[in-house]
Amino acid sequence: MTTTFKGGVHPAEMKELTSEKPFEFLPLPEQICLPLSQHAGKQALLLKKKGDAVRKGEMIAEPDGFISAPIHSPVTGKINKTTSIITLTGIRSEAVIINRSDIDEDDLMEPLNPVTVAREKIIERVKQAGIVGQGGAAFPTYVKLSPPPDKKIDYVILNACECEPYLTRDYRFLIEKTEEVITGLKLILKAAGVLYGIIGVEDNKPEAIKKLENVLRNEENISLKVLKTKYPQGAEKMLIKAVTGREVPPGKLPFDVGCIIHNVGTAVSIYNAVVKGEPQINAFLTVSGLGIVEPKNLIVPVGTPLKNIIDYCGGIKENAKKIVAGGPMMGFAQFDLNSPVTKATSGILVLTGKEAPGIKESNCLNCGRCLSVCPLDLAPTRLYKFSRFDKFEEAIDIGLQTCMECGTCTYNCPAGIPLVQWIRYGKRKSSALLKQKTN
């Protein structure tokens, strides 16, 4: 029996474009652009200078603070320069340009035995490897492996829903790297000191479900939960509700209801760091949309410019209209093909006018459709109006900071109002004002 949550939408899935495309390695680019901010928290501190030689896997920037992560070079080469760029998520970051050499040397860590490795060693390895969450927020993973001692954690939930249309990266993980996924989950369980693991997957992935059922047949502490295909099933609060029946109250975290959630891609990164000694230097991503000549699933060195990826996929069709980093619901529209892929990039979409038609904005119809689909029972039109007219205190009072920016309201708005974009504006503006007051 499948379970789910209240609200949500079911956009056209479009996963058939790449679901049967196995991962391919993108050829190494001649030049890499590594942003020092690829994670939540403060950007990393650069350890190198212009002209320095670096090896593949070598740490070139160290964490700055608790919620920060190191950056490693994905290629062997030489530091060309530092510069300032706009990342795929729209934030400005210092970045390092590395010119690749023809020498193939690496500086990987010592492999560890996943069966005998100690809990503390796993956490330290994940921290050293610079692993960040693959679900979109890019939160440093080692922090989530150490739950507060006063919180009793019952479950580690592995998020394999991949509810965004077009994206099939997580699906390919389940099909091609099943053992890595399960071993990664076991490492998470050991590190977090949790006994039970649950894998949540939507019911539109029957082949992956069958494969997981076979692998998990003899696993007593890991179970599979098949969920109804619906967006945003992969959001933390929705997934916890669907899998355990527990509700995360506004302002609280999964820890507070006894759960830890990691993305299936994060489990694979943890496996690679522990078993192979590899830091997070590659991004696994889907390249799709009707505007790209040859959709693919790729393994790409972090720091690769979008242009290299698009060229490898045959280029852009004449009717392409929009390029998006991430999924179409929560992704970011791009304007510069020199922008680089980061650790948490899950997809690059090239959409045509038919796929991204846009609707001419009109006045709110008061139809209530945004209310009916909001998974968190918020009032998107009121949040939008308060944000648009800079009435942030009123917006906060009705749940502005609770909104997870899933975009369900905007998708369902017949008036074409960019509701989530205005809510996002309100959240960031009010947070900046609050920070000014406290400083």
Residue with tokens 């390695």: 25
215-224: which pairs have CB atoms within 8 A and are 24 or more residues apart? 215/178, 215/179, 215/182, 216/182, 219/182, 221/189, 221/195, 221/196, 221/197, 222/182, 222/185, 222/186, 222/196, 222/197, 222/198, 223/196, 223/197, 223/198, 223/199, 224/198, 224/199
Residue at 66: amino acid letter: F
- Binding-site sequence positions for [4Fe-4S] cluster: 364, 367, 370, 374, 403, 406, 409, 413
Using CA atoms, how far apart are residues 371 and 380, in angstroms rounded to an integer? 7
Are 169 and 285 spatial neighbours (Cβ–Cβ below 8 Å)?
Answer: yes
Strand pairing category for 320-325 and 347-352: antiparallel
Q: State the number of CA atoms in the 13 A half-sphere of 210 facing the CB.
A: 4
Pull the structure tokens for residue 138.
């890019």
Residue at 43: amino acid letter: Q
- Binding-site sequence positions: 364, 367, 370, 374, 403, 406, 409, 413
Please enumerate in sequence order all residues whose Cβ is within 8 A of that of 357, keeping only pairs 6 or more positions apart, or say none: none
DSSP annotation of 224 reads E
- In angstroms, the first-to-last Cα distance of the chain is 52
- Its sign, for the CA torsion 376, 379, 383, 386, is negative
Please enumerate in sequence order all residues whose Cβ is within 8 A of that of 416, keeping only pairs 6 or more positions apart, or say none: 358, 359, 360, 361, 362
Using CA atoms, how far apart are residues 87 and 84, in angstroms rounded to an integer? 9
Are 285 and 297 spatial neighbours (Cβ–Cβ below 8 Å)?
Answer: yes
CA distances from 23 to 36, 48, 315, 317, 422 (A): 27, 32, 18, 22, 37
Please enumerate in sequence order all residues whose Cβ is within 8 A of that of 373, keeping only pairs 6 or more positions apart, or say none: 7, 8, 9, 408, 409, 411, 412
